[in-house]
A and B are shown apart, each in its own frame.
Chain A
């Protein structure tokens, strides 16, 4: 049995407290009124303009006056005289919304990132059981520990989505489906059969319910198999793993439309579900490697040897390439045909997110392919840890790139709200996962492939 060391527990609690403080700070500082945003924009303009500083300020002030004067006058006249002013106003309002959205998006990106690790591990676990893998049973308890985060993590994602509302999902803006309303959007209205708040949460709960149900039962059968005197539980876990994988691939795809793609409701991509899946799968496998290496360094996983590490690292390597394949396929097809309604997705990312957008390709592809290609390197724990940390950071940036351009646009920065959100959920993740690891012995007993796995040799 593993005991959650006090040091690690304190560490995770410190992470959560620090994260919570930072998230609170992020929300406090994001409450900017329209006037504050205007002064901020004027200041920015003066910084950029240098010599034009005064001019910009004057323009900003006149915008204010014009805007107020023009609000309740004849419409056509207002448009004619205060076209500029209106434009300035709209711009400031747009920026204000982006600033308001930032702490929500930061929280959502981090929450989704850690939830997807647990979900990726669950899928990996089900595949190991359904394929009757002979090498991995010694790692099952580690995987089961990680998937314990799925329930709290998934509920948190849904809760953030619920409270963030239109801060994250523009299709929840008031009146967006009402014809004649100033927010009316014909395209979104056409999709409201799928994109509506009730449907979103019903689907979300069904997805999460199915995954958690599989997690609970597979865990139950796994524990029961330890003390059983036949293989009934193993057979049951095999059957539900196969069933879960079918359920998973449908729901994961739909989840990616709902939870991620819908932040850009005008945009759609057919391989998006796979793309998100690749991201979650490789992050999940990386976390399995990191936690196994940590536990082994504590001496509680003596039956895991460098052959198992080698196999996990091979999966990290292969799925990093798989992720790149999907990332590139999605990008290249859209870039190549350059259809305006699709290509804006990458235009915004390229214009405002150049460093994260291209940086993640380096972290998620170039780095792992060079670091993990050599068979000897895959057997060196510190090497796998280093590569793993880069991969995890790269996939955080991946999720960041999916959400942020739609919610905060060019107002992004990896600052206090983003870092604290990651700390908060990292702390919670460590706390939940390592608590779950203490609940059962770290080696499956009586699992039919246990012996083979213990003697696994590459």
Chain B
């Protein structure tokens, strides 16, 4: 793929970063990515990122877990081999339901939690032996980096970013992004 140019503006303070994001957004430039060492409160809102839907997936996974628990125990305990175990009524699912609730609860939580975590890994492309996408190792320590694509407006961008308090501005040829 064609190599494209990006500009990397580095900040050392999250408040400065926040105001820089607002300024860049106000100038209607598209921010490709921001790298921070820790979660910056309100950064997603300032960047205009869409809210996450991971809670909705977790809810659905929970319902799946609940269904699995019910179907499993209904088959095993009621349909397949309805034994009399200690006098518990195994004539129908509902009659013996209280005994199944702990498992129904646990499987709901288990499915919701684990599948949500796996969804998170998949959506954010995280797995063992994955190559780190970090453009500058300092952003895992105490620096913040904003990446903006250049479409022939190099100088304009550079001066804008300098105004926002960037401590370092680099122009980088980027191989195919991600």
Q: Chain A residues in contact with chain B, CB under 8 A? A: 328, 331-332, 335-336, 338, 373, 375
Interface of B is mostly: helix
Q: Say yes or no: B59 contacts A373, CB within 8 Å.
A: yes
Q: Say yes or no: B87 contacts A338, CB within 8 Å.
A: yes
What are the residues of chain B within 8 A of A336 when measuring CB–CB?
98-99
What are the residues of chain B within 8 A of A328 when measuring CB–CB?
98, 101
For residue B77, give the distance in angstroms from its CB to the closest CB of chain A: 14
Q: Say yes or no: B87 contacts A332, CB within 8 Å.
A: no
Interface of A is mostly: helix
- In Å, the complex CA distance between A331 and B59 comes to 27
- In Å, the complex CA distance between A338 and B59 comes to 35
What are the residues of chain A within 8 A of B99 when measuring CB–CB?
332, 336
Closest to A335 in B: B98
3 residue pairs, one from A and one from B, having the closest CB atoms: A332-B98, A335-B98, A336-B99
Q: Say yes or no: A332 contacts B101, CB within 8 Å.
A: yes
- In chain B, positions 31-55 with a C-beta closer than 8 Å to chain A are 55
- In Å, the complex CA distance between A375 and B101 comes to 26
- In chain B, positions 92-106 with a C-beta closer than 8 Å to chain A are 98-99, 101
Q: Say yes or no: B98 contacts A331, CB within 8 Å.
A: yes
What are the residues of chain A within 8 A of B101 when measuring CB–CB?
328, 332
Closest to B98 in A: A332
Report the interface size for chain B: residues with CB under 8 A from the other chain: 6
For residue B21, give the distance in angstroms from its CB to the closest CB of chain A: 19
What are the residues of chain B within 8 A of A338 when measuring CB–CB?
87
What are the residues of chain B within 8 A of A331 when measuring CB–CB?
98
What are the residues of chain B within 8 A of A332 when measuring CB–CB?
98-99, 101
For residue A375, give the distance in angstroms from its CB to the closest CB of chain B: 8
- In Å, the complex CA distance between A332 and B102 comes to 10
- In chain B, positions 74-93 with a C-beta closer than 8 Å to chain A are 87
For residue A412, give the distance in angstroms from its CB to the closest CB of chain B: 24
Known: A328-B98, A332-B101, A335-B98; 9 extra A-B contacts, CB below 8 A, are A328-B101, A331-B98, A332-B98, A332-B99, A336-B98, A336-B99, A338-B87, A373-B59, A375-B55
With most chain A CB atoms within 10 A of its CB, the pick from B59, B98, B99 is: B98
- In Å, the complex CA distance between A331 and B101 comes to 12
A-B contact pairs, 12 of them (CB 8 A): A328-B98, A328-B101, A331-B98, A332-B98, A332-B99, A332-B101, A335-B98, A336-B98, A336-B99, A338-B87, A373-B59, A375-B55
For residue B26, give the distance in angstroms from its CB to the closest CB of chain A: 22
What are the residues of chain A within 8 A of B98 when measuring CB–CB?
328, 331-332, 335-336
What are the residues of chain A within 8 A of B59 when measuring CB–CB?
373
- In Å, the complex CA distance between A335 and B97 comes to 11
For residue B108, give the distance in angstroms from its CB to the closest CB of chain A: 11
For residue A268, give the distance in angstroms from its CB to the closest CB of chain B: 20
- In Å, the complex CA distance between A331 and B97 comes to 12
Closest to A325 in B: B105
For residue B106, give the distance in angstroms from its CB to the closest CB of chain A: 14
For residue A191, give the distance in angstroms from its CB to the closest CB of chain B: 29
For residue A377, give the distance in angstroms from its CB to the closest CB of chain B: 12
- In Å, the complex CA distance between A328 and B98 comes to 8
For residue B130, give the distance in angstroms from its CB to the closest CB of chain A: 31
Closest to A338 in B: B87
For residue A330, give the distance in angstroms from its CB to the closest CB of chain B: 11
- In Å, the complex CA distance between A373 and B55 comes to 10
For residue A66, give the distance in angstroms from its CB to the closest CB of chain B: 41
For residue A329, give the distance in angstroms from its CB to the closest CB of chain B: 10
- In Å, the complex CA distance between A336 and B95 comes to 12
What are the residues of chain A within 8 A of B87 when measuring CB–CB?
338
For residue A282, give the distance in angstroms from its CB to the closest CB of chain B: 19
- In Å, the complex CA distance between A331 and B55 comes to 31
